Amino acid sequence: MEKYARLQKIGEGSFGKAILVKSTEDDRQYVIKEINISRMSNKEREESRREVAVLANMKHPNIVQYRESFEENGSLYIVMDYCEGGDLFKRINAQKGVLFQEDQILDWFVQICLALKHVHDRKILHRDIKSQNIFLTKDGTIQLGDFGIARVLNSTVELARTCIGTPYYLSPEICENKPYNNKSDIWALGCVLYEMCTLKHAFEAGNMKNLVLKIISGSFPPVSLHYSYDLRCLLSQLFKRNPRDRPSVNSILEKGFIAKRIEKFLSPQLIAEEFCLKTFSKIGAQPIPDVPYFPSCSSPTPGLDYTIVCVHGLCIYAHKFFGGLAILMTTSMAVLFLLWLSFGDGFLFS
C-alpha cells in the first residue's frame, strides 16, 4: 500500500471495503477493494483469489479495468480504475422521478449487454448484476464491475446452484433453489432495464418472503407506454419465468433496434474481435489470426486470404483480405458465401 495514498472509503461489504486512493506514481485515482482474508476459510480465500483471476482476464471498454492485486497484513488488495461518474443506482436516484429518454436508456443498455457478452462468451457468470455494480466514467461510458461472486464455468452447460445475489435482482429459479446458468444474469439484466425505465425496482415487498413470492409469480407494474413497443417487448422477454425462454445476451444484441447502436461504442476492430467466433478460409475453419480489421479504404495484409464473418444484428459483415474489400451481406447471402468457401465454385454451378 506504500504507493497509494488513501482518500476516503466509498463502500463496504461483508468481508471488505472499497477505498478511493491516489497513486504516488502516476497521480491518478483508483479504487482499491480491501478484503480481509485472515478470518476466511480456505474456500473463501480461494474464492477471493478467483475474483482476481477473473478480473485480470477482463479487458473490455465496458468493464471496469483491473490494474493489480497484492496480499498484505492479512488482507487481499485489488486495484481497479476509478469511475468518476459514480454508479447507475445513484444516477437513477438523481432523476427525482423524471423518466430517462429512451435513447439514453438504450445507449446504456447496449453497453451493459456488450460487457455481459464479453463475460458470458468466456463461460463466466457475473451473478451480482445490479445498478450499484454498473458504473459511469467521466465521459459517460458505462462499465460493469464487481465480479466478487463471479464463477468460471468448467463447461458452457454447467449449472451453478449457489444462492447468491442482491434480493431485488434474484431470478425465480434461484428463489426456488433450482439450478441456474447465464440466464439468471439475463433476469437481473431485465431488472436493471426496468429500473432505468421506471426509476423503481421491478419487484419490491416489505419482507423477503413476500419479495420471493412476487419474483416467482413474475408480476410487476407495467412500463410506461411512453417507451417503444420494442423496448417493452424486450423487457417481457427478459422476465420470462422459465430460464430457457429468456434470450441470451448474444440474441439480445442481434435485435435490430439494439444492434444498430453497437458501432457507437465499439471500434470496427473490437467488433470483429467480439463478434467473430471463427475465421474461414478455403481450407476450412480456423481460429481467428492475430490480424487487424481493415475498413474498405485500407490496404490488405500481404499473404493473407482470410474472410472474417461477424454476426451483427440481422446482417453479416464479411471482410476478405484481398484488395481491402469489405462486403456487407444479408444473412441468406452470407450462408451461400460460407458454403462457397467450404466447397468451392462447384457448389454454385453444379
Q: Are 123 and 160 in contact (CB under 8 A)?
A: no
C-alpha 86 chain-centroid distance? 18
d(CA 150, CA 119): 10
Active-site choice (81, 87, 128, 146):
128
Please, what is the Cα angle at 146 between 144 and 150, to 5 degrees?
100
Beta strands in the chain, from DSSP E residues, in sequence order? 4-12, 16-23, 29-36, 66-72, 75-81, 124-125, 134-136, 142-144, 151-152, 279-281, 284-286, 307-312, 315-320, 326-330
Contact residues for 333 (Cβ-Cβ < 8 A; gap 6+): 316
Residue 33 assigned as binding residue: yes
SS3 category, 203: coil
d(CA 322, CA 141): 35
Q: Are 301 and 292 in contact (CB under 8 A)?
A: yes
d(CA 185, CA 162): 14
The candidate with the shortest Cα–Cα distance to 126, out of 70, 191, 197, is 191
Known catalytic residue at 128: yes
The candidate with the shortest Cα–Cα distance to 267, out of 62, 105, 81, 102, is 62
Type and span of the H or E element at 104: helix 102-120
Q: Are 273 and 281 in contact (CB under 8 A)?
A: no
**Locate cell 431485488: which residue?**
168
Binding residues for ATP: 33
**Catalytic residue IDs:** 128
Binding residues: 33
